[in-house]
């Protein structure tokens, strides 16, 4: 982690401005602000934030009411420059949805960019393309249900065009797209809860027309997804550390889970422990957890509200977390598994190496068996192919990373390997 420094004009508008849902929220108290400072510091690392991928960080800043005008301006300009360089067709629907949410999170100059470039209308078209792909390819979207949920949420919040019949047809909690490797995806379900809650509210207040049965169906979907999220509770977390922030948001708006103070403290303790271990050191990881820790949700995006100007400053310096590593090398077993065939090799790397370092070392020894390709994402490198076999959304295939036969929640560029581990990259379906 880079050295800590004083964050100018950074602060948080806390309890006095948290909405009336506070009784169901789970908010960090002042004595635990040090954990928030670590997250804010991570989000300030511009070297790890590229182009449109800054939308998640900008959205989190505005929801959490962080005052850092220079960083906000830089992120906004990078996003706009990146979009101007790209053909709109090169943006996924979820990427465009996040940009709209970030630019429209409060009344600011970016809102004009949304209107001038007709971004909401273009998102509506991309959502239609997702639906068309599902009709053709056995229910599989162009992207995934995590992005589709952001599409519906954004179209709902910004009065875009979407079909209630598509929502009730495709967002059934038993839909296969809510699962990854046969296991319920908590963050996907959580964003779906937020999207469905927005739709339900729009029906209730008359912003959109729908039959009573559609409203009842959506409510049943919300309840079922909340139940699935809570069933994935694991030591205070939901799913894993990275899905917990969005799970908290879903529980804020659609359950009474956090009316129980012990439930709140259990979650906070688990999150604080992960923060102290550096789990949220990536800007996007920090951005994903921060709003929930302040009792905010993506449903709080409000393009008509003025961005806050006088937050309470947090002035103490964050304490850097520097892991102590031994200098010696370590040995691991690394395997590529395709169907039932495994090819394994012993690899020696420096202590402190990540999964990707092991993959690179294996590729140097035998590029035919261990050769791979990757693409950069805000979460770090994403493995796109091994042995020339490519991940494919339409076929619901991807390359799964495992340690000692357990799926990893961290990516190849972030997971630090340990001596004696049995690492595997497996051709899998979701």
Q: How far is CA 384 from CA 347, 376, 401, in A?
A: 22, 10, 12
143 carries a ligand binding annotation: yes
145 is in an annotated binding site: yes
Q: Is 138 annotated as a binding residue?
A: no
HSE-up of residue 412 (Cα within 13 Å, Cβ side): 22
Distance of CA 308 to the CA centre of its chain: 24
401 labelled as ligand-binding? Answer: yes
144 is in an annotated binding site: yes
3-state DSSP: the chain helix, strand, coil percent, rounded to 5? 50, 15, 35
Does 101 carry a binding-site annotation? no
Collect all residues with Cβ–Cβ distance below 8 Å to 122 and sequence separation of at least 6: 88, 96
What 3-state class would DSSP assign to 397?
strand
Answer yes or no: is 72 a known binding residue.
no
**Please, which residues have CB within 8 angstroms of residue 94's CB and are 6 or more apart in sequence?**
143, 144, 146, 147, 148, 150, 151
Query: Does the annotation place 348 within a ligand binding site?
Result: no
Residue 205 assigned to a binding site: no
Beta strand pairing status for 312-313 and 11-12?
Answer: antiparallel
Count of Cβ atoms closer than 10 Å to residue 245 Cβ:
24
123 is in an annotated binding site: no
Length, in residues, of the chain: 430
For residue 430, say whether it is annotated as part of any ligand binding site.
yes
Residue stretches of the annotated binding site for cyanocob(III)alamin: 143-147, 187, 240, 288, 382-383, 399-401, 408, 430
Residue stretches of the annotated binding site: 143-147, 187, 240, 288, 382-383, 399-401, 408, 430
């Amino acid at each position: 982690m880079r050295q800590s420094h004083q964050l100018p004009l950074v602060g948080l508008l806390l309890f006095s401005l948290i909405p009336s849902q506070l009784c169901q929220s789970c908010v960090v108290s002042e004595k635990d602000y040090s954990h928030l400072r670590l997250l804010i510091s991570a989000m300030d690392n511009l070297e790890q934030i590229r182009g449109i991928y800054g939308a998640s960080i900008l959205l989190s800043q505005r929801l959490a009411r962080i005052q850092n005008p220079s960083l906000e301006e830089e992120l906004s300009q990078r996003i706009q420059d990146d979009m101007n360089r790209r053909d709109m067709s090169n943006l996924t629907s979820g990427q465009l949805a996040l940009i709209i949410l970030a630019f429209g999170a409060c009344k600011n100059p970016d809102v004009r960019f949304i209107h001038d470039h007709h971004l909401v209308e273009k998102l509506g078209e991309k959502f239609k393309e997702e639906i068309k792909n599902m009709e053709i390819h056995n229910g599989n979207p162009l992207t995934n249900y995590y992005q589709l949920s952001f599409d519906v949420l954004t179209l709902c919040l910004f009065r875009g065009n979407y079909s209630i019949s598509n929502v009730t047809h495709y967002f059934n909690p038993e839909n296969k797209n809510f699962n990854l490797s046969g296991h319920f995806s908590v963050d996907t379900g959580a964003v779906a809860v937020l999207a469905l809650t927005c739709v339900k509210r729009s029906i209730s207040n008359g912003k959109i027309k729908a039959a009573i049965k559609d409203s009842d169906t959506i409510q049943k979907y919300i309840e079922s997804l909340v139940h699935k999220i809570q069933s994935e509770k694991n030591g205070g977390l939901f799913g894993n550390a990275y899905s917990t922030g969005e799970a908290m948001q879903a529980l804020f708006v659609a359950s009474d889970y956090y009316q129980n103070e012990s439930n709140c403290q259990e979650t906070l303790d688990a999150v604080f422990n992960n923060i102290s271990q550096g789990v949220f050191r990536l800007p996007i990881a920090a951005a994903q957890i921060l709003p929930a820790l302040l009792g905010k949700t993506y449903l709080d995006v409000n393009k008509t509200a003025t961005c806050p100007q006088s937050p309470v400053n947090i002035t103490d310096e964050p304490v850097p977390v520097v892991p102590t590593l031994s200098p010696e090398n370590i040995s691991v077993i690394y395997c590529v598994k395709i169907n039932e065939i495994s090819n394994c090799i012993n690899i020696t790397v420096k202590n402190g190496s990540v999964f990707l370092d092991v993959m690179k070392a294996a590729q140097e020894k035998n590029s035919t068996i261990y050769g791979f390709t990757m693409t950069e994402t805000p979460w770090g490198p994403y493995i796109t192919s091994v042995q020339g076999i490519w991940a494919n959304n339409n076929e619901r295939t991807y390359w799964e990373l495992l340690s000692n036969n357990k799926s990893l929640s961290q990516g190849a560029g972030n997971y630090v390997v340990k001596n004696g581990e049995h690492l595997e990259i497996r051709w899998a379906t979701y």
